[in-house]
């Protein structure tokens, strides 16, 4: 029960129906009703004097917000374990939209129920990566973390994944490419590629092929030199065919031709990305990348060997490794 002052404070301070009742959730309508009744006990015109305009206004506001509440655009994604109020769209991916929540998670929702199997494949890949990083904690920063998932959903409903949010300070490699239209200095791309190779080599330890290593799927933390390989919906076990392909990816030949993929597929994709990101005059690094994008998968080096080979090239080019600060240029906005 509220005192008059408490009730007024609560109602006058609410800027939206969700402020007063919480995010809209059909399972909480009884709770909302109880709150409306409790507030009415001290604010309703029948209870207060005819000249108590403050209470009248507050009472009208409660009724209005209560009517608006189911139509407010606050959505809550529920799983067996928890509920995640959605706070706004963060990004549009190739098969899903990614939403911010009120907490330290994002929710990735497929855009059509027909794509649910792709999310199931990603859960499987992320679980396998989770077990890998439990064994090798140094690999943990390179992969997204699965927090929760929709589980089985009804016919026609869309599956979703709850992931640890990588928001503060993160951009995608696609943002980086847009920010440096002339291509990157080889010394900047060096740390990104070293880390990307680690992510790829780590997955290959457990026979997992990512299958869509493109700029949108590589999250970059410029300040901390962080790299996370995201977007695992196309991932399969080595030797399988990709479940689907991102329509924008028509390479390497084994993907284009619908043949089984291997870790060599990821090696090709990671180095196609490298050629795309590096400045034209980074001849030595570009030659290195070309060796990894040969049509015949058997001729491409293994990701694990590439870790050493790339480090050797970097040492030859730049000498001892030093931390080189990197930032995206500020836009005029
Ligand atoms: N954990 C995360 N935290 C913050 N942003 C993320 C996270 N995961 C993905 N994103 C952002 O959302 C975009 C879309 O995510 P993602 O690539 O996982 O979905 P998709 O492209 O629909 O599926 P996929 O790449 O697996 O086929 C990414 O490009 C990235 O900008
Ligand atoms: Mg993606």
Do 149 and 226 lie in one domain? The reply is no
Predicted pLDDT at 31: 92
Shared domain for 178 and 296, answered yes or no, is: yes
- Assign 156 a pLDDT band (cuts: 50, 70, 90): confident
Cα of 257 to ligand 1 centre, how many Å?
A: 26
> Cα separation of 181 and 233, whole Å?
29
- Take atom 7 of ligand 1 and give the residue whose Cα is closest: 166
Burial class (CB in 10 A: 0-12, 13-18, 19+), 245: middle
| 262 Cα: distance to centroid of ligand 1 (angstroms) | 23
Total number of domains in the chain: 3
Write out the residue range of the structural domain in which residue 118 sits: 75-165
Same domain, 84 and 198: no
Per-chain mean pLDDT for the chain = 93
Is residue 292 within 6 Å of ligand 1 at its C-beta?
A: no
Q: Verify whether ligand 1 is closer than 6 Å to residue 4 (CB atom).
A: no
Q: Which residues contact 246 (CB under 8 A, 6 or more apart)?
A: 94, 212, 214, 234
Same domain, 278 and 199: yes
Evaluate if residue 223 carries a pLDDT over 80. yes
- Which pLDDT score is estimated for 139? 98
CATH number at residue 203: 1.10.510.10
The span from the CA of 302 to the CA of 267, in Å, is 7
Could you tell me the CA-to-CA distances from 25 to 6, 133, 199 in Å, in that order? 24, 36, 39
Instruction: Give the pLDDT confidence score for residue 96 in this predicted structure.
Output: 95
Of all atoms in ligand 1, which is nearest to the CA of residue 167? Answer: 4
Indicate if 139 and 180 belong to the same structural domain: no
Distance between CA atoms of 111 and 116, rounded to whole angstroms? 9
Residues 192 and 160 in one domain: no
Q: Are residues 173 and 307 in the same domain?
A: yes
Does the reported pTM lie above 0.95? no
Nearest CA to ligand 1 atom 26: 231
One domain for residues 237 and 255:
yes
- Give yes or no: residues 276 and 173 share one domain: yes
Q: Which of 46, 71, 96 is the last residue of a domain?
A: 71
Domain final residue pick, 56, 71, 86? 71
* Pair (43, 157) in one structural domain: no
110 close to ligand 1 (CB < 6 Angstrom) = no
| Confidence band for 332, pLDDT divided at 50, 70 and 90 | low
Query: pLDDT by residue (tens digit) across 73-94?
Result: 667 898 999 989 888 889 999 9
Measured from the Cα of 233, ligand 1's closest atom is: 26
The answer to whether residues 192 and 326 belong to one domain is: yes
pLDDT digits (tens, 9 = 90+) for 279-318: 999 999 999 999 999 999 999 999 889 999 999 999 999 9
Half-sphere exposure of 103 (CA within 13 A, CB side): 12
Parallel/antiparallel/unpaired status of strands 146-149 and 105-110: unpaired
Q: Which CATH number goes with the domain that contains 40?
A: 1.10.287.110
Q: What is the pLDDT of residue 95?
A: 94
Last residue of a domain, one of 29, 46, 71: 71
Decide whether any atom of ligand 1 lies within 6 Å of the 232 Cβ: yes
Q: Is the CB of 91 under 6 A from ligand 1?
A: yes
Residues 130 and 87 in one domain: yes
């Amino acid at each position: 029960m509220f005192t008059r002052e408490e009730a007024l404070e609560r109602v006058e301070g609410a800027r939206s129906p969700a402020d007063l009742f919480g995010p809209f959730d059909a399972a909480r309508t009884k709770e909302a009703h109880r709150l409306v009744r409790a507030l009415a006990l001290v604010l309703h015109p029948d209870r207060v004097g005819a000249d108590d305009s403050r209470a009248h206004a507050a009472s009208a506001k409660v009724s209005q917000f209560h009517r608006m509440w189911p139509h407010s655009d606050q959505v809550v994604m529920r799983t067996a374990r928890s509920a995640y109020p959605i706070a706004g769209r963060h990004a549009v991916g190739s098969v899903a939209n990614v939403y911010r929540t009120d907490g330290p998670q994002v929710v990735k929702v497929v855009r059509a129920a027909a794509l649910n199997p792709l999310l199931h494949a990603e859960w499987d890949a992320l679980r396998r990566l989770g077990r890998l990083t439990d064994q090798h904690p140094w690999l943990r920063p390179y992969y997204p973390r699965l927090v929760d998932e929709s589980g089985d959903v009804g016919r026609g409903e869309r599956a979703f994944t709850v992931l640890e949010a990588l928001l503060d300070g993160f951009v995608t490699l696609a943002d980086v490419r847009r920010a440096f239209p002339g291509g990157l200095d080889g010394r900047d791309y060096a740390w990104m590629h070293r880390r990307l190779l680690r992510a790829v080599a780590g997955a290959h330890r457990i026979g997992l092929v990512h299958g869509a290593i493109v700029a949108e799927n590589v999250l970059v933390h410029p300040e901390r030199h962080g790299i996370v390989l995201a977007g695992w919906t196309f991932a399969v076990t080595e030797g399988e065919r990709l479940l689907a392909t991102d329509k924008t990816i028509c390479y390497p030949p084994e993907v284009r031709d619908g043949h089984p993929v291997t870790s060599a597929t990821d090696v090709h994709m990671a180095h196609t990305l490298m050629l795309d990101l590096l400045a034209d005059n980074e001849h030595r690094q570009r030659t290195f990348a070309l060796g990894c994008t040969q049509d015949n998968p058997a001729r491409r080096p293994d990701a694990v060997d590439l870790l050493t080979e790339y480090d050797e090239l970097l040492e030859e080019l730049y000498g001892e490794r030093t931390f080189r600060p990197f930032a995206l240029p500020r836009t005029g906005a």
